[in-house]
Amino acid sequence: MADNDRPQIYLITPPDFDPDIFPDRLAAVLDAEEIACIRLALAGGDEDRIGRAADAVRMVAHDRDVAVVIETHLKLAERHGLDGVHLTDGARNIRDARKALGADAIVGTFCGTSRHEGINAGEAGADYVAFGPVGDTALGTGARADRDLFAWWSEMIEVPVVAEGGLTDKLVADLAPVTDFFGIGGEMWSADDPAKALRALLASLGV
């Protein structure tokens, strides 16, 4: 990432939400801030529930030209007209996902704190890799992805990188020069005004 480019924002949905209420909250955020992509990250395996949520999120996002990827569920990405998939197991299934979804789909993956896994993911054709957590959260093993990992990656590797998990305003300021995206979800959705919470989190970026 060039030094004069601020990281883009990659929204992560809550693990559970009401599809009749959440789209309005999401729309308010998308109308207030420039968002690059949304990850539908619902817990569980109820395909009907996840499918309804996918349709609701897709309608709001695509009306605003924002891409939507879904965590893990390849078949639902195709069935519900989403833009791609976010994998959670490093490089393991990237080639299979690419084969299933096609060359134009977004295929990204979470690599925890592993530089080696990230490199393998990039070589397998990932469009981005995510490292984390960067702060206090139970994401992954809980081991921290430190600034040195992002600094090395941004200098040595061309594949875009996402910093996620337990972000604070101080971590945003610290990591901004060495990451391409901030993956933000739980840090804002519990607030009464998620857009306001997001702006506070990103205050150091001048948004």
**Residue 207's pLDDT is what?**
58
**Residue 3's pLDDT is what?**
41
**Residue 140's pLDDT is what?**
67
- The Cα 48–Cα 50 span in angstroms is 6
pLDDT in tens, 106-135: 999 999 999 999 999 999 999 999 999 999
177 C-beta neighbours (distance < 10 Å), count: 15
**Residue 180's pLDDT is what?**
98
Which pTM was predicted? 0.95
- The Cα 86–Cα 97 span in angstroms is 10
Calculated CA dihedral for residues 35, 182, 194, 73, nearest 10 degrees: 80
Instruction: Delimit the domains of the chain by residue range.
Output: 8-205
pLDDT in tens, 69-90: 999 999 999 999 999 999 999 9
- CATH number for the segment(s) 8-205: 3.20.20.70
- Amino acid identity of residue 199, one-letter, is R
**Residue 1's pLDDT is what?**
34
Give Cα separations from 163 to 19, 37, 66, 77, 173 (angstroms).
27, 14, 19, 23, 12
- The Cα 31–Cα 198 span in angstroms is 12
Tokens read off for 4: 């004069």
- Amino acid identity of residue 163, one-letter, is A
Average pLDDT, consecutive stretches of 10 residues, N- to C-terminus, the chain (207 residues): 72 95 97 97 93 97 98 95 97 96 97 97 98 85 91 97 97 97 96 96 86
